[in-house]
Amino acid sequence: MNIVLLDSYTLNPGDLSWGPLETLGEFIRYERTKPTDIIERAKDAEIILTNKTVITKEIISSLKKLRYIGVLATGYNVIDVDAARAAGVIVTNVPAYSTDSVAQTVFAHVLAHCQHVGDHDKAVHQGRWSDCKDFSYWDYPLIELADLTLGIVGLGHIGRAVGRIGYAFGMRVTAFNRSELNDVPPYITMTSLAEIFNDSDIISINCALTAETEKMVSRKLIAQMKPSARIFNASRGGIIDEQGLADALNQGQIAGAGLDVLSTEPPSADNPLLTAKNCTITPHIAWATKAARGRCLRAVADNIAAFIDGKPANVVNR
Protein fold of 99-281: Rossmann fold (3.40.50)
User: Is-contact 91 76, C-beta < 8 A?
Assistant: yes
Model pLDDT for residues 129-184, shown as the tens digit of each residue: 999 999 999 999 999 999 999 999 999 999 999 999 999 999 999 999 999 998 99
| 228 within 8 A of 256, measured Cβ to Cβ | no
**Which of 66, 70, 106 minimizes the C-alpha distance to 297?**
70
Please state the φ and ψ torsions of residue 175, each to the nearest 5 degrees: -150, 150
| Non-local CB neighbours of 225 within 8 Å, separated by 6+ positions | 197, 198, 200, 203, 231, 248, 253, 254
Q: Where does 17-171 show beta strands of DSSP type E?
A: 26-29, 47-50, 68-71, 90-92, 149-153
Q: Name the strand (E) or helix (H) holding 214.
A: none
Do 2-97+290-308 and 99-281 agree at the fold level?
yes
Strands 47-50 and 2-5: parallel
* Catalytic position from the list 113, 236, 293, 295: 236
pLDDT single digits (tens) 219-252: 999 999 999 999 999 999 999 999 999 999 999 9
Phi, psi of 28 (to 5 degrees): -120, 135
Q: How confident is the model at residue 39 (pLDDT cuts 50, 70, 90)?
A: very high
Give me the pLDDT at residue 85, please. Answer: 97
Is 236 one of the annotated active-site residues of the chain?
yes
Q: Inform me whether the pLDDT recorded for 128 exceeds 90.
A: yes
How many Cα atoms within 13 Å fall on the side-chain side of residue 252? 0
Residue 210 confidence (pLDDT) above 90: no
Q: What does the domain layout of the chain look like in residue ranges?
A: 2-97+290-308, 99-281
**pLDDT number for residue 184:** 96
| pLDDT for the residue 234 | 97
**How does strand 256-259 pair with strand 188-190?**
unpaired
Tens-digit pLDDT profile for residues 5-30: 999 999 999 999 999 999 999 999 99
SS3 call for 112: helix
Mean pLDDT score of the chain: 97
Instruction: Name the CATH architecture for the domain at 2-97+290-308.
Output: 3-Layer(aba) Sandwich (3.40)
H or E stretch including 281? strand 279-281
Task: Please indicate whether residue 265 is annotated as part of the active site.
Answer: yes
Whether 75 has a pLDDT exceeding 90, the answer reads no
What is the sign, positive or negative, of the torsion defined by CA atoms of 279, 236, 29, 64? negative
Element (H, E) at 21: helix 19-22
From 29, 172, 284, 293, the catalytic residue = 284
Instruction: Give φ, ψ of 129 to 5 degrees.
Output: -70, -40
pLDDT at 196 over 90: yes
Task: Give the pLDDT of residue 142.
Answer: 97
Q: How far apart (Å, rounded) are the C-alpha atoms in residues 219 and 248? A: 8
Q: Is 318 a catalytic residue?
A: no
pLDDT at 77 over 90: no
Residue 257 has pLDDT above 90, yes or no: yes
**Burial label, 163 (beta-carbon count in 10 A; 0-12, 13-18, 19+):** buried
Find out whether 69 and 45 touch, Cβ atoms under 8 Å: no
How many CB atoms are closer than 10 A to CB 289? Answer: 16
| Sign of the four-CA dihedral 70, 11, 78, 74 | positive
For residue 294, pLDDT over 90 is answered with: yes
The sign of the torsion formed by the CA atoms of 193, 198, 199, 200 equals positive
DSSP-based three-state secondary structure for 41: helix
Q: Which amino acid is at 162?
A: V
